[in-house]
Structure 1
Amino acid sequence: MSAGARARRAVAECRLIDLHAPGAAGDDPAARSARSVLSERERRRADGFRDPAAAVTYIRARAAVRRTLAGVLGGTAAGVELAAEPGGRPVLPEHPGWYVSWSRSAGVLLVAVRYGGPVGVDVELVRPLGSGARVLGTVYPGAAALGELDDPEAFFSAWTLLEAAVKASGRGLARGGREVRLVRPPGSARCALGGIRGTGGAVWRGRTDRLAVTAAGRGPRATGPNARVMTAVVTRGPSAPPVPLPLPLPLALGVDR
């Protein structure tokens, strides 16, 4: 199927993937299978990790991004050409009009593919965090106008929307964070996207979702059986941002269960 035909059938796709699996990182069959679809540059980066578990998570994430792209665009995961703009936003040189964005936190991957307009995503493990307004204020001057942000629901909705918005605009957090407009609707526990300045009047839309994950990682930000993540998806244009859908790790990596 041509890219144009796929564009008519699937305008956008967004997947949430748990990247952890049982077993020792160095002997993970899924990771070995995933490595085969990576580019040479990605394999070199994986080899540079000192922590084997971190290397496995990176390999799984990149393979899942490639599998998702191949599923939407056609071809093979290994054949997907990924490049980056000067600001770091990923691009698909062989597929004009298609956009991709991904984010990883605590062993959970969020990846979105969209045709016809930019997309940006972010995912964060929801956890207690003191002084939310002060933390957000380091990159977003309007943090005080959003009210109390010590509640994780409020803070992580604002933070993920900000990250997703600067990814969608391609401007980066240091510069683009000042151009994003976040709002706090009256009575709402979450913040919302009000727009992005300096984009020629373009209509930007954002959504946040608090979703359960079941992965069990390691370290202070590892997920547990009752873990929740906040996801944000930002798009430009009239269509609503896609809803993140869970995808089991074996399917994301293209291996047998």
Structure 2
Amino acid sequence: MRAGAEGWLIALHDTAERGWDDEDCRAVLSPEEARRADRFRRPASAVAYVRVRSAVRRVLAHVLGESPAEVRIAVAPGGGPVLPEHPDWYVSWSASKDALLVGVCRGAPIGVDVEVIRPVESPAQVLRTFYPSAFALGEFHEPETFFSAWTLLEAAVKATGRGLARGAREVQLYRPPGARRCALAGVRDGAGVPWSGRTERFALPRSSDEVMTAVVTRGAAVPVRLHTWRLPDAPPSGDAPRPVSGTGVAP
């Protein structure tokens, strides 16, 4: 993998329709993941969990050069995922409806978030619950404004490992004049290091849904490459998700 961060956008519904057997998915889970899947009361929730974890393992196997079942994923004190046998690698993932985004970065923390774009009732109030400075971002007349702010906030607190409840107030968002999207100004983490973030709006492959993605990394202007992956096919050779026309990229 080249320097920088990479992300993979996976359409889970497309994966399921193409014969990716759920038993095959279960076969690569760790014993703890399998036990957790069995604890779900709703079968649909168990299936979704198994597909997400299996897909994450396949992405990490591709990056690390291991088999999916061999990848060891642990939980950090803050609740985020860590790779104990690869301490220089950082991973983050997010799922929304049928969309899964997995991000990896070598040598620097990373946080990602994906949200299916949809109507949100009282978006400013929702954001202010965790981010009191939301009023400074202006009006939320368009879903793109809310979801750019929300995904950046989620991705940033995943990257810092602080979580929404503790870390949201450390995140600094702003909205450029005339822009529909919000952008990341920085993170007050006490270390004085720069953070970079980007959002993009994509059409989810083989779906009528559109998604907003956010990737946040520690470091100034870390290059980010996004790919699509149609599991259970072989790893992608460079396919990128299709940006929605006219949305641009927030700085």
TM over 0.5: yes
SS in 2 for 1:188: coil
Instruction: Name the counterpart of 1:221.
Output: none
- Partners of 2:140 and 2:38 in 1: CA distance: 39
Instruction: Name the counterpart of 1:59.
Output: 50
Instruction: Name the counterpart of 1:150.
Output: 141
Q: Say yes or no: does 1:230 pair with 2:212.
A: yes
TM-score by length of 2: 0.88
What amino acid is the match of 1:34?
A: C
1:42 to 25, 33, 48: 33
What amino acid is the match of 1:228?
A: E
Shift of 1:245: 1.5
Q: Does the 8 Å CA contact 1:46/1:58 hold for their aligned counterparts?
A: yes
- Structure 1 runs of 4+ with >4 Å offset: 21-24
Structure 2 unmatched ranges of 5 or more: 236-251
Instruction: Name the counterpart of 1:192.
Output: 183
1:243 to 197, 212, 225: 225
Shift of 1:40: 0.4
CA deviation vs aligned residue, 1:26-62 (integer Å, no higher than 9, x gap):
xx75211111110001011111222222222211110
Instruction: Name the counterpart of 2:247.
Output: none
What amino acid is the match of 1:83?
A: A
What amino acid is the match of 1:18?
A: A
Shift of 1:149: 1.5
Instruction: Name the counterpart of 2:240.
Output: none
2:202 to 199, 211, 228: 211
- The structure-2 alpha-carbon separation of the partners of 1:93 and 1:188, relative to structure 1 and needing over 3 Å to count, comes to same
Shift of 1:10: 5.2
What amino acid is the match of 2:212?
A: M
% identical aligned pairs: 59
Q: Does the 8 Å CA contact 1:183/1:193 hold for their aligned counterparts?
A: yes
Shift of 1:214: 4.3
SS in 1 for 2:132: coil
- Partners of 2:102 and 2:180 in 1: CA distance: 25
TM-score by length of 1: 0.86
Shift of 1:244: 2.6
What amino acid is the match of 2:36?
A: R
- Aligned residues: CA RMSD: 2.0
- Partners of 1:73 and 1:46 in 2: CA distance: 25
